[in-house]
Structure 1
Amino acid sequence: MDNFIDIFTKQIINVFYPFLVFIYLLIFILFIFKFIINLILKKIEKNKLKKIGINDIDNLDGLTFEKYLEVLFKNMGYKVIRTPYMQDYGADLILEKDNKKTVVQAKRYKSKVGVKAIQEIVAAKGYYKADHAMVITNSYFTFNAKILAKENNVELWDRKNLIKNIIQYLSDDNKNDNKQALVNNESFKDELQTDINFCFICNKRLTDKEIDYCLKNTDIFKGKTYCYNCQKKV
């Protein structure tokens, strides 16, 4: 009886062993294939995000904006971790560079960012035991948000700072003309002002009063500066 069982078992193994090997091999091939496809899709998404302009950013959802900033900071030399979309404790990204940790909150807003974002990132800085904290928006910050950020050493990137860093860092290492392409992109052309001391329209040198008036009324002038005559055209 024992011999019969042994013979039967060996026959079963001989029959099914090649099939099992085939199944394991197929699973391994599918795993490798999925891994390669994911790499390709991430590369495509990264290249697509690198080429969009500020007006495109205005139309992104919150999660895609976080992914965009992830690409930007990786180009700046940071190791980037995206926190869970829910229960992130106030931080959307965690950056690491030169043994320093930075927490970042991303705000893809149409209106100005208020004090709540500053409060949340200050809390996140403590929770993640970070050395630095940032809030980044495609919009601007309220006056109170700026005051609170200054008191808590929170770095703020508004629309103008974001554009500046995109142009500086989102350039292909193998294509030196990519920065110029970003500058010439229609999405950026109407946003970029290189010197606030000159009118954005007529390039006339501005008085301190004209500059202060424009910067205090960012809801009207969007962070740009204009001479008295051109202010009437905005």
Structure 2
Amino acid sequence: MIKRDTEGSHTLADKLFGDLNIFDLQGLLLTNKYEFSAALEAIYLTSNENLKEVEDFFTQDALRAKYKLATKLNIPLYIIVHQENNQYFTIFTMVENENTKIVIGKAENKTFKEFIDWWSQLKGTPQTKGFRHDAQNRTKNSIIDNLLKQNSLAWGGNVDGIIISKDVNSNIIGIVEKRIREAALAHYDPADFFYSSSDPMRNDHYTWKPLVKLALALDCPLYLLTFEKGNNTSYAYSDVKTIINGLQYWSGSPKHNITTEIEDFNQFLNQEKRLPIEKGYCLKCTKEVTDTVRDYCLNNRKRFKGKVYCFNHQKQI
């Protein structure tokens, strides 16, 4: 039994997530109106594995984190299962039972064609950014990803980390974007890769946009954690302030918040809650811009160089 997963393993990151009750969600779909439509996980089974064991594949803490997120967004949590040699998927809808345990509510089989139709109704946002090379390798044998690609579709975004309180309520207290890179922590800041006129892999706005929307919908901060490949002693952190006119932080660049102690980020979580700011302002004046104006500028990156201007100042660029 294998989970579809695009994320690479990192010893320190895995320990930090385990110690601080942080759980991932591999799929979060949005409609073409940027409305959340479904929370997803996918699992692959061999032909001799028991489909009923899927319910116990995730820990209850992990399921609760995913279910809490889905419930707060008023969307379903699905676990998509493909068993070796089958020409269909089994889609489980997860629910909370009378004992507050997250369990399978119903199961539905969908042929490959039915699955594509179902997926097309849930995901309306375009895939503006491909997987990095290592993530491509981790999904190259994924029957779901290959089927979606054959039909000009894609899996979409994920949530690297959902931070759950350790009390009985298991409330969501933060969302995490995790970056694991070759670059040294002291030299890496995702803000430096927010815009590039030559390299589409460096245009990060549409990676951050749904995360900001998610944090605001969940009424929680959006945190950034950066890790260096091969470095299992240090990491860096910050919290996102805005993505208008570039990625900006409340607490400064992660390059300036490097530590060796997991407890430092734990204490950071207990500071004043600072949510991202969704509103944006023209770079040349104090006029507030709408989402439509902002996205127009960002869709025309070559002209506006990744910056946002009001309608009047657009004419001057």
TM-score w.r.t. the length of structure 2 is: 0.24
Which is richer in strand? 2
Which is richer in helix? 1
Q: Which has the larger radius of gyration?
A: 1
